[in-house]
Amino acid sequence: MSFSSLHKAKDLWYKDGTIVIIAGTTAFCVHSSVLEAVSSVFGDMLNLHREGEYETMEGCVVVRVTDSEIDMSHFLRVMFRPGYDSLAHETEPIAFSALASFLRMAHKYDVEKGVAVAVDRLSRRFGAPLHTSLGHRTTWDKVEAHLNTSSRVTFDPADAIEAVNLMRLINSSATSANSPRFSNIAVTVALFYCCVAADGKPQFLRNGQPRADGTMEVLSDADYGRCATAMVCLRQEFGHVVGRAMVAFWNGYDKFKNVVGCSRQPKCENDTIS
């Protein structure tokens, strides 16, 4: 692709930059010293370019990558504006899709600290026990809003397949006991979100969901089987919970009629259960 057909990333084109990274149709001009300091992969790439023939753009070494411009922009934005340390301190809320892009790229380019910070941030969204001050009478939307606010990572269940696949990628790449990894609880919660997203549209589980850059995220056969089985179990458990709640309501009507706001007691137990 010729330089004339590229467009410069406005917020990631530094006039004093030393390297131009081209991803898709977008060019990013950043500081190679920063990337070399945190990424051994980028360090090796730049050394190879310096040793052989290389393209230049406005006096900077050009590196072409196969990553999407969306993934690269999220990665570089975290690295340079203002840096991935901000993820650990939660100075700004971040969308799951942006954090997932950064984690995927940090893993690919061996940015160890970035991987650790992103895994920790996502783990608090998916792996933390649900302790809220919402009380007993609440809705799923309020629970979701609470989790998004408390973790400062906003998540859409439609991104659940990407979440599962990303967690599997990180965990399968862990090389030691100290490597960042997602807990089984976090993976289970991500699989649960797959079931939530598939409610009313089961084809979601089999067909998958595209990311913002068009890359299709599809569950593995094993995780597809887990979700298909889980949806049957969840529906059965829902029926059991409702049945038990109705019996408890009939038996203890006088104790909590004011709490549930019901002004009339059921005529008989059979009417209540049905």
Structure tokens at 79: 């690295």
- At residue 137, φ and ψ (nearest 5 deg) are -95, 100
Structure tokens at 15: 């006039």
- Please give the mean pLDDT across all residues of the chain: 84
pLDDT single digits (tens) 198-212: 988 889 999 999 999
Where do the domains of the chain lie? Answer: 1-66, 68-219
Does the pLDDT value for residue 163 go beyond 60? yes
The model's pTM:
0.82
pLDDT > 90 fraction of the chain, expressed in percent and rounded: 55
Structure tokens at 86: 């901000």
pLDDT single digits (tens) 19-64: 999 999 999 999 999 999 999 999 888 887 766 678 889 989 999 9
pLDDT single digits (tens) 261-274: 555 555 554 444 33
